[in-house]
Amino acid sequence: MTDSLNSLGFNRPPAETRVVVAMSGGVDSSVTAALLKEEGYDVVGITLQLYDHGVAVQKKGSCCAGQDIHDARRVAEALGIPHYVLDYESRFKEQVMEEFADSYIKGETPIPCVRCNQTVKFKDLLSTARDLGADCMATGHYVQRVVADDGQAYLSRGLDMGKDQSYFLFATTREQIDFLRFPLGHMDKDTTRKHAERFGLSVADKPDSQDICFVPEGRYVDVIERLRPGALEPGEIVDIDGNVLGMHEGIIKYTVGQRRGLGVGGTEEPLYVVKLDPAKKQVIVGPKEALTTSEIGVKDVNWVAGDVPADGLDVTVKIRSTRPGVPARLYLEDGRARLVLQDAEAGVSPGQAAVFYNGDRVLGGGWIDRAVSADPRLAA
């Protein structure tokens, strides 16, 4: 027995520490497995079959497992670690894909990667890792797990701000954070690729995926139509005063903030989608300034950072993974949050995530279900 903690925080030699690595077939999770194997840990790789790749790309003869599973298997063989492929198709379809489709039909802008982490990966897969006798589970996410002086672990932004994935992990619970490890959190992508080359991994030059895994080439409308036949219901395109400007084929083809492809013209200034009304089947358009939001309502909040005073807490909130955070006052009650933004923010849409930070530390987050427009005509 060693007198000090190993790199994963356990008071035993690496060889006596079992770690399950979630291997997606990409360079990040492959390097995670390789680094842990190099340190001498008892590494087990697991890859999830989440969807039928042939159906997703709509090409006959496509490998149903997809290239990613093949790549993960090759890496595991090269590293000499056990590797399992688990069929999670049915639960992924039910917990992620079905909700993705329903969210768009309701006029929302969903983020299925968060739901996948929240359900399939950090709930179902984490449970499987425990069943395999793992001491922890490691992933290739660019986020840092920090243990505070009181022994409580929390999530912090990844060192590489350009790759930071903390936004997508806001729903991770305290219990899950205790079990999870993120070996790449203190690295940048260039360093990760150099490790991949050093290990001679077959995926060293594999490009990062730019699409939602089950929405190849970004054609989400095709996926929704397949899951929800008849979802394309026509309706009116109206301005913020209710004047009809044209017709649309279905609100699922539009997102808040969209400017191109609206199908209306002849106005003096550019028009943007400022709101979607699924009950009336209306796409509401207006000038850019009508996109601004002054207050946000958030449901299903996962809060991991102690009590919030009754008079609120100053936080930084991110409402898009690609946008910097903005200052806000947060009020928390009964699993809901109300955010009063210091400066109005543009393009806030129900269905997006709102993630709360104190500096680099993730305090929690939830799902936007209310965006109060700074324009009084849309504030209701």
Cα distances from 92 to residues 49, 98, 218, 230, in angstroms, run 9, 9, 19, 22
Residue of 63, 64, 116, 136 with catalytic role: 116
Q: Is 113 a catalytic residue?
A: no
Residue holding tokens 């994963």?
8
Contact indicator for 14, 39 with CB cutoff of 8 Å: yes
N- to C-terminal Cα separation, the chain:
64
Strand partners, 316: 327, 357
Q: Return d(Cα 79, Cα 225) in angstroms, integer.
A: 42
Q: Is 116 a catalytic residue?
A: yes
Q: Return d(Cα 100, Cα 106) in angstroms, integer.
A: 10
Residue holding tokens 């940048």?
188
E-strand stretches of 218-360: 235-239, 244-248, 272-277, 282-286, 292-303, 313-318, 326-333, 336-346, 353-358
Q: Which amino acid belongs to residue 123?
A: K
- Looking only at the bridges linking them, the beta strands covering 42-49 and 18-22 are parallel
Q: Which amino acid belongs to residue 299?
A: K
- Nearby residues of 306 by Cβ (< 8 Å), 6 or more positions away: none
How many residues make up the chain in this entry?
380
Cα distances from 129 to residues 21, 121, 320, 321, 369, in angstroms, run 9, 10, 31, 28, 33
- Nearby residues of 237 by Cβ (< 8 Å), 6 or more positions away: 244, 245, 246, 247, 248, 262, 263, 264, 282, 283, 285
Residue of 63, 64, 136, 213 with catalytic role: 213
**Catalytic (active-site) positions:** 116, 213
